[in-house]
A = this chain, B = another copy of it.
Amino acid sequence: MNNKIYFTPGPSELYPTVAAHLATAMANKVGSISHRSQQFKDIYAHAVTGLRQLLQLPDNWDILFVASANEVWERAIQNNVERKSFHLVNGSFSKRFYEISLELGRQATKHEVAFGEGFSIDDLDIPASTELMAVVQNETSSGVSTPVTEINKLRTKLNPETLIYVDAVSSTPYPNFDYNQIDSVYFSVQKGMGLPAGLGIWLVNGRCVAKAENLKNKGLSLGSYHSIPALLSKARAFQNPETPNVLAIYLLGKVVEEMNHHGIATIRQETETKAKLIYDYLATSQTFSAAVTNPAQQSQTTIIANTKISSAEVIKKLAPFDMVVGSGYGSYKDTQIRIANFPAHSVAQVQALVYKLQELFN
């Protein structure tokens, strides 16, 4: 039996009901049903209907299921970029999307700022030939957030044809997007959704679909079973082209139903309450300090702190109390810690973590 609470930035703490839902799925033999059966289509429909409500997604957007957020990066480039993508880079994950575009033979360019810094959207100069513009709403590696109000300014800076892709991998369902100002949002389920890894979720509007059709009509390859047209033709019939991760889709539907019961407004409010507990502590701590100093750019869901003692030591000292935080990312492994603040983490758990950090490290 493992009684730890995982404040790691993903995989992270599972939503408290996941184990019970998995047991029910096993009793009902959800792992054995056909992925073309009505029973499966009902499971799929339940998940997407719930997700639409939770994310307040307009009707002209579609929800596509792939295997990971990594896969979304690849499919986005294959389906929505003939030549040029442009990437705002301020950490490892925003950089990876840029690299994937290059690996797929596209002309990717980037505007890069130092790890831990954010962007001044007003000052950006984005090439008019950009087909896909990538912005990370919440950079998991550095804890820098791009406020939704800033993202909403992008459209006016761009060629009207440019598609705006928003990475909300480690923040969904927290950000309250204006879907009229963006074209795609993507995330994976093992972060804010509180689910086991193995499912990437790709939200696209009609402009992304039209662009894919346009490239297809030009005779370009969009990939195969997971092109937007292939995914869409099945998604609208509540299926996937391949046999998907059925259990993950089942769990998603169950957890989203509970999140909707709790209410997205409450989830957002609690997220801010918990984030404030952590940032207030960091502001007074002798050991830790917030890595992101501009309050408007401080992530509410993945909070990064510089640490005067090694992250390994912090993790080790918390272990007897069944609390797990993440080490820093990449070259910041030792000098930073990362604390996830997802809907699966209760206010009481975050309060207990803060008290314990205070007691152990001041």
Contact = CB atoms under 8 A, between A and B. Distances in A.
A223 B19 CA distance: 36
Contacts of A18: 26, 31
Nearest to A11: B32
Interface in A1-58: 1-2, 4, 6, 8, 10-14, 18-19, 22-23, 26-35
Contact of A73 (B67, B69, B224, B326): B224
A196 interface: yes
B13 A32 contact: yes
Contacts of A33: 6, 11
Contact of A11 (B35, B104, B248): B35
Interface string A44-85: 000000000000000000000011111101100000000000
B1 A245 contact: no
Nearest to A221: B105
Contact of A67 (B1, B27, B71): B71
Contacts of A71: 67, 225-226, 242
A331 to B, nearest CB: 15
A126 interface: no
A197 interface: yes
Given A67-B67, A242-B70, A29 B10 contact: no
Interface residues of A, number: 59
A175 interface: no
A189 to B, nearest CB: 10
A28 B2 contact: yes
Contacts of A303: none
Contact of A100 (B22, B74, B225): B225
Given A12-B32, A67-B67, 4 more contacts: A11-B32, A11-B33, A14-B32, A31-B196
Interface of A: 1-2, 4, 6, 8, 10-14, 18-19, 22-23, 26-35, 66-71, 73-74, 99-100, 103-105, 188, 190, 195-198, 221-227, 241-248, 326
24 contacts: A1-B27, A1-B28, A4-B29, A4-B32, A6-B32, A8-B34, A18-B26, A19-B26, A31-B196, A34-B326, A35-B197, A70-B224, A70-B241, A70-B243, A71-B225, A71-B242, A73-B225, A99-B224, A103-B222, A104-B223, A105-B221, A197-B243, A197-B244, A247-B247
